[in-house]
Structure 1
Amino acid sequence: MTLDSKSREQLKQISTGTITTILFKHGLRNVWIRGPQHVFGKGQRAVGPAFTMRFIAYREDLCTPNAWSSPKSTRACVEAMPDGCIAVVESGGCLDAGAAGDILCARMQTRGVQALLTDGAVRDAIGIRSLDFDVWASGVASPPAVSFMHFVGWQEPVTCGGVAILPDDIIVADDDGAVVIPAALVEEVLKVGIEQERQEAWILAEVQKGGALAGLYPMSEDTRKRYEQQKS
């Protein structure tokens, strides 16, 4: 799906913790992508539709320097990425090679890609750091992708960090990692999420003032009335 600017900005106000709670209430538990953490960039919450990339395990006859010029190369894939997307890379958890390096990340950045997310590693740490481009990854490695993985395509369903991700699902990533929101549930997350963030900020402030958790978290009826009065 496409995100209008208002929806994107609203999702940036909702933490991945809040999103996983909302989706849990709708029966979805497997939405938090295992492994990737924020390793490069400003660390601001990233929001965008998934543009998927997929690697499979290496095989010697496939993983050769010729793969770089194949029509199904990571280079061709990056040139197909639209403005505002998040590149989601299925690397099979491979930490022996970087799924992308500074040159690919630089090209993503100039195309308006919001971030790169992979359950594997990236390479060229110094170069990526100089770009100030947001990357969520499971590690950093020196070898090129082709030495340990074979790139097979883009914009198809992938498994990243044990989570099924379809092209154009919505990705939200912050300091707690990354989650996927199925397109059909984005409106529900928007409807519930911002108010839940307000409530939890108020509860946190009350706890910091010395308030006990009983009746506060979760809110009792009396506490909710007090919250509503103070909110208004």
Structure 2
Amino acid sequence: MVQDLVAQETLDEYAELSSAIISDALDLAGIHGTLEGMSTQVPGTRMCGPAFTARYTLAPAALGRFADFMDDIPQGAVVAIDNDGRTDVSVWGDTLSLFGSVQRFAGTVIDGVCRDIDGTRALNYPMFSRGTYMRTGKGRVGVESTQAPISISGVIIRPGDLIFGDDTGVVAVPRERVDEVLALARKISARDDAYETAIRAGLQMKDVWLAPRED
């Protein structure tokens, strides 16, 4: 199961961070993991979990039906869908959001668009995509593969890679480097806390930058 690829305590710690802090940690680690163009469609929601990947292709080349793979997705996974950035057909609507909510998925990110967004917002289901569009993908695109490497915004995502999303954006962390990135994120978070303390103490901005100290 994909959850087993990232320890639960690690997921819990990541869940307390932000996409901005994780992005900074990815920069320090030399990893390109920021998913450009992915934004929340349900403001105020967050997602954090290992990726369950799916790739769509234009019908009739599709090798699978539209959403049969949903029954294979485990609790706690982020559904990561590569629809090749298409914005003219949707591959997710409120029926799938309801299923994801009941099955306790961590959320969904689509290199493409979703629809029925009012229903998804009513469920408070974490949904990240390039936007919304009403036209169905049924009969137009279909599943080419699942649990294989995909590309979202030019970032390769493999099953089990950690995906995090919030109101600022979406980031992906390679599963074999989650501990390294988390260690860097802890330091960045401590630095930001020191900045906040210094600002609230009334320091001038030129002195705020000097506030953090390495142990």
Instruction: Sort the TM-score into its range (normalised by shorter chain).
Output: 0.7 to 0.9
Which AA in structure 1 matches 2:39?
Q
Supply the RMSD in Å over aligned alpha carbons: 2.3
Residue 37 of structure 1 pairs with residue 29 of structure 2: no
Residue in 1 that maps onto 2:9: 6
Q: 1: distance between equivalents of 2:165 and 2:197?
A: 25
Residue 130 of structure 1 pairs with residue 132 of structure 2: no
Which is worse superposed, 113-122 or 100-109? 100-109
Conserved 8 A contact 2:43-2:167: no
Q: 2: distance between equivalents of 1:102 and 1:188?
A: 36
* SS at structure 1 position matched to 2:41: strand
Q: 1: distance between equivalents of 2:145 and 2:107?
A: 19
Which AA in structure 1 matches 2:40?
H
* SS at structure 1 position matched to 2:205: coil
Gapped runs of 5+ residues in structure 1? Answer: none
Residue in 2 that maps onto 1:158: 150
- Report the CA distance between 1:75 and its aligned residue: 2.6
- Report the CA distance between 1:201 and its aligned residue: 2.4
Which is worse superposed, 145-154 or 46-55? 145-154
Residue 101 of structure 1 pairs with residue 93 of structure 2: yes
Alpha-carbon distance change, 165 to 77 in structure 1, aligned in 2, over 3 angstroms: same
Alpha-carbon distance change, 74 to 209 in structure 1, aligned in 2, over 3 angstroms: farther
What does the per-residue CA deviation read over 1:2-36, in whole Å, with 9 as the maximum and x for residues that have no partner? 333322221012222221222222222x2111111
Alpha-carbon distance change, 212 to 154 in structure 1, aligned in 2, over 3 angstroms: same
- Report the CA distance between 1:129 and its aligned residue: 1.9
Identity of aligned residues (%): 22
- Report the CA distance between 1:116 and its aligned residue: 0.6
Gapped runs of 5+ residues in structure 2? Answer: none
Q: 2: distance between equivalents of 1:10 and 1:42?
A: 19
* SS at structure 1 position matched to 2:22: helix
Q: 2: distance between equivalents of 1:164 and 1:47?
A: 17
Q: 2: distance between equivalents of 1:55 and 1:15?
A: 29
Q: 1:26 aligns with which of 23, 26, 29?
A: 29
Residue 141 of structure 1 pairs with residue 133 of structure 2: yes
